[in-house]
A and B are shown apart, each in its own frame.
Chain A
Amino acid sequence: MSTTRAAPASSSRRAAPERGRSGGDDRRLTWRNRLYRFDMRYMPYLMIAPFFLLFVVFGLFPLLFNAVVSLRNYRLDDPTLPYWAGVENFSRLFGDEDFWNALYNTFGIFLLSSVPQLLLALVVASLLNRKLRAQTWWRVGVLLPYVTPIVASTMVFSVFFSRDFGMANWVLGLFGLGGADDPIDWRADKLHSWIAIATMVNWKWIGYNALLYLAAMQSIPRDVYEAAAIDGAGPWKQLWRITVPMIQPVVLFTVILSTIGGLQLFTEPMLFDPNAQAATGGPNGEWQTIAQLIYKVGWKDLNLGYAAAMSWALFLIILIVAGVNYLVTNRLSGGRK
């Protein structure tokens, strides 16, 4: 029986020369063949199994289970409520002023951060794309903000944007804006707090995006630029007419990335607030984002069911906005279709 089983495997190149030896070797051979067959057939699955197992348990399952939780009354402080809530958590969403306010803030901060971020990244990338001395060091340098913990940098910017003695107001004062007599209170209204938070986001991600653009720019064939000489395109025109359309896939990629990241903004608005633990994003929710509101609803108000419903809403919003941004960018950056 063992010989028949070994037959298909022994026709393989590895086992073939070992044939026709003594009986003891034969038994070892079949054992080896089984091992070989197991190795060929099942080893690949064993190798990908840890990834899928861990990913399903801690990544995919929570995401799906979130849907169940969103249909439940899940309050950490009141387990006596009826198990199912139906769509109550979702219908409550529509009348929830906090939610619409947070949505408004999230979009505001997103616009103020993503647009300048990507435009400046383009400019920085086109500068890095020149022949530079100490090329590597410039590239490493723009990554300083990328490796800096957002928690740490937000603390620094929080101080920059303080009303009295803040660096931001002092610099603006040098240009005759605000100044010591009439300092800007960066935490007093929506627009100013949005600008402050957007500045942190821009600071963090310009260099990273610039490197993504740079990588794409370097793979543009050189003759494309030679051809453009005929029209006498200067560097600025070159950037917009040739470079950007040529790196369009990466531009779209960064737009999607910054949409996904920007709409989930959490750390910056949390720690910009001197009263961070409350997670209200300012005394009147001036800069409370959706991610922050989810945190507040879930872990301050202890209403996990409602927080789960909000997460789903955010997911949908991200999908829609990412789709719209994709189409818009596709148009603006010279897509052919």
Chain B
Amino acid sequence: MSAVAPPRPAPARRRPRLMGRAPQETQAGLWTYLFLALTMLFAAFPLYWMFVIATSDDEALAKLPPAIVPGDRFMTNVDEVFSLQDVYFAASLVNSVIVATVVTASVLFFCSLAGFAFAKLRFKGSNALMLFVVLTLTVPNQLGIVALYIVMGKLGWNGTLLAVIAPGLVTAFGVFYMRQFIVNTVPDELVESARMDGATTMRVYANIVLPAIRPALAVLGLLTFVATWNDFQWPLITLSGTDFPTSMVAISDLASGNYVIYRRVLAGAFIATVPLLVMLFIGGRQIVRGIMEGAVKS
């Protein structure tokens, strides 16, 4: 023990100065802000630069030092993207909205239903079935992609939005997350007393559980929407070459060919990114919370 250490136990719970204070209680200094600002710059610059090129002409990409301020050709570039014949960019945005919305709604409904059942209802086999859900959390779904393609072929769904929507309709993570949240926030007594008043299980779900888990629905909804919107590999496999691409597939189409015009590619990329940036701006708090809660509980 060094001489600096206060006598223990400290009578007035006084903390030693400077050292030994928990980081959470340490006021951030200049260096902390500086380094965080650098991190922010690193995180935001590619997005900013996407916008710079999306608003510029071809010259901007052929000069040194590189262009750093936005140009004035955003509308021109956007017009070009939308009018390209075999890219179907406008349709692809609509498709992405459809896919992400349907998938999100479905995940929220089915996963909260199952999560409620696992959290608050007693039935035979519930533990084993929940264990199954947890185990499947870690299985990389990409590995079944070849067989999924064959299955979709048999159903005749390849090349349609159904092929993209169907595999996303439920997620093991959704059930897991909902269950955890319901266990922690919906008191058993509330469910019991509603039962005593003659409420059916579905009524308990609709009137008690749903209102109580609204924050969790927001979090899961945002995370699901973002992930679905950004999905690339499977939509590429099943949709490329059709008239129904999602926006991610359409952007990759923009970037294919012998001579790629990057101001168009990045204009398209920028348009497809904006909805997510808006969501982060509005729901950022929820997304942060969702990720952090998931970390502590898992």
Interfacial residues, chain A to chain B (CB-CB below 8 A): 13-14, 35-36, 39-41, 43-45, 47-48, 50-52, 54-55, 57-66, 68-69, 74, 123-124, 126-133, 136, 138-153, 155-160, 164-167, 170, 180, 203, 206-208, 211-220, 222, 224-230, 232-235, 238, 243, 250, 253, 256, 260, 264, 266-267, 270-271, 274-277, 291, 294-295, 298-299, 304, 307-308, 311-312, 314-315, 318
Taking the closest CB of chain A, its distance from the CB of B119, in whole angstroms, is 11
Question: Which of B61, B114, B232 contacts A266 (CB under 8 A)?
Answer: B232
Taking the closest CB of chain B, its distance from the CB of A37, in whole angstroms, is 12
- A47 and B114 contacting across the interface, CB-CB below 8 Å: yes
For A211, list chain B residues within 8 Å (CB). Answer: 288, 291-292, 295
- B260 and A295 contacting across the interface, CB-CB below 8 Å: no
Chain A interface mostly:
helix
For A41, list chain B residues within 8 Å (CB). Answer: 123
Taking the closest CB of chain A, its distance from the CB of B46, in whole angstroms, is 5
Question: Which of B1, B147, B255 contacts A69 (CB under 8 A)?
Answer: B147
Question: Which of B32, B64, B136 contacts A165 (CB under 8 A)?
Answer: B64
Q: Is B218 an interface residue (CB 8 A)?
A: no
Question: Which of A57, A222, A314 contacts B143 (CB under 8 A)?
Answer: A314
Q: Indicate with 1 or 0, residue by residue over B98-139, a CB within 8 angstroms of chain A CB atoms.
A: 000000000000110110111001110010010000001011
Question: Which of B198, B226, B266, B288 contacts A139 (CB under 8 A)?
Answer: B288
- A232 and B50 contacting across the interface, CB-CB below 8 Å: no
Q: Indicate with 1 or 0, residue by residue over B187-208, a CB within 8 angstroms of chain A CB atoms.
A: 0000000011110111001000
For A164, list chain B residues within 8 Å (CB). Answer: 62
Question: Closest 8 A-B residue pairs measured CB to CB?
Answer: A229-B20, A140-B284, A62-B144, A215-B292, A152-B269, A130-B28, A63-B144, A62-B147
- A274 and B260 contacting across the interface, CB-CB below 8 Å: yes
A212 to B23, CA, bound (A): 16
A315 to B195, CA, bound (A): 46
**A304 in contact with B149 given A130-B26, A147-B277 (CB within 8 Å):** yes
A159 to B261, CA, bound (A): 11
A93 to B234, CA, bound (A): 24
- B252 and A143 contacting across the interface, CB-CB below 8 Å: no
- A276 and B143 contacting across the interface, CB-CB below 8 Å: no
A31 to B13, CA, bound (A): 65
How many of B's residues come within 8 Å of A, CB to CB? 114
Q: Indicate with 1 or 0, residue by residue over B54-86, a CB within 8 angstroms of chain A CB atoms.
A: 000000011111100000000000000000000
- A311 and B146 contacting across the interface, CB-CB below 8 Å: yes
A165 to B63, CA, bound (A): 6
- B61 and A159 contacting across the interface, CB-CB below 8 Å: yes
Taking the closest CB of chain B, its distance from the CB of A35, in whole angstroms, is 7
**A54 in contact with B277 given A130-B26, A208-B291 (CB within 8 Å):** no
For A214, list chain B residues within 8 Å (CB). Answer: 292
For A295, list chain B residues within 8 Å (CB). Answer: 233, 236-237
A157 to B169, CA, bound (A): 32
Apart from A143-B288, A149-B272, A217-B23, what 10 extra A-B contacts exist at CB < 8 Å?
A51-B111, A69-B150, A127-B32, A130-B26, A131-B27, A144-B44, A153-B46, A165-B62, A215-B296, A233-B19
Chain B residue at minimal CB-CB distance from A144: B43
**A45 in contact with B123 given A138-B36, A155-B255, A212-B295 (CB within 8 Å):** yes
For A142, list chain B residues within 8 Å (CB). Answer: 39-40, 43
**A157 in contact with B46 given A55-B136, A235-B23 (CB within 8 Å):** yes
A217 to B22, CA, bound (A): 10
Q: Can you list 16 A-B pairs with a CB-CB distance of less than 8 A?
A: A62-B145, A65-B147, A69-B146, A124-B36, A139-B284, A140-B287, A147-B226, A153-B47, A207-B39, A214-B292, A222-B22, A230-B5, A234-B19, A264-B142, A304-B150, A311-B142
